[in-house]
Amino acid sequence: MTMPQAHEDASTFWEGHYAKLTQPSGGRPSAILVRFAGGLVPGRALDLGCARGDDTIWLAKQGWVATGVDVAQSAIDAAQRVAENAGVAKLARFARHDLNVSIPDGAFDLVSAMFLHSPGKFDRAAALRRAASVVGPGGLLLIAAHGSRAPWSWADPDTVYPTADEELADLSLSPSGWHDVFVGPIERIATGPSRQTATVIDTVIALQRQT
């Protein structure tokens, strides 16, 4: 993944990224999503930064009416094709949104933002505040972020990763409106683009909106 130019917008960067991928997506859902959403009663889900749809399609296979959104049209076109081939196109839907600007309307039972990181112009805290605003009563807001740098990452080696508590503070959510399900680091073995592995830390925020 080439480092973006400072002026590059999210769409240009991510379309360029997906244009270079020659293999289909692996089809594996995020471990954090499976851990926190696997036991929930399916309802309406929103997957932010859905890429080529692995998480959205997994949710649809569990019975969720799942909407995946991404800034890269080519990624969501690929996701749509996979959903159709998997027979879940009625439950897995995709829409292009630049989360700097917009988010689908609604009151979702699950809003998931797995590694919604972007170089170039991206106000992550503002996008996540917008994500919180579309969680319905009793719904789960699930956010996973990189808490350490994988050896193959495009991130600057000097990157300082915020803790889950710091990231939660940035969201400025009303403490009385949310119940903490989990806020903290989770370690996992990650697999890189050449199938190499390394232990990484994910920073996870899982909050349930009060009814």
Ligand X SMILES: C[S@@+](CC[C@H](N)C(=O)[O-])C[C@H]1O[C@@H](n2cnc3c(N)ncnc32)[C@H](O)[C@@H]1O
Q: Which residues bind ligand X (CB under 6 A)?
A: 10, 14, 30, 49, 51, 70-72, 75, 97-100, 114-118, 122
28 or 90: CB nearest ligand X: 28
Nearer to ligand X, 16 or 179 (CB): 16
Question: Minimum CB separation from ligand X for residue 57, in Å?
Answer: 12
CB of 123 to ligand X, least distance (A): 9
Instruction: Return the closest-CA partner of residue 156 out of 47, 25, 1.
Output: 1
CB of 76 to ligand X, least distance (A): 9
First-to-last C-alpha distance (Å) of the chain: 42
**Using an 8 Å Cβ cutoff, are 205 and 142 in contact?**
yes
Q: Give the nearest distance from C-beta 176 to ligand X in angstroms.
A: 30
Measured from the CB atom, the residue of 17 and 209 that comes closer to ligand X is 17
The helix (run of H) or strand (run of E) holding residue 93 is strand 92-96
Cα distance between residue 83 and residue 92, in whole Å: 6
What are the beta bridge partners of residue 146?
202
Q: Which is nearer to ligand X, 116 or 173 (CB)?
A: 116
Rounded distance, CA 139 to CA 65, Å?
A: 14
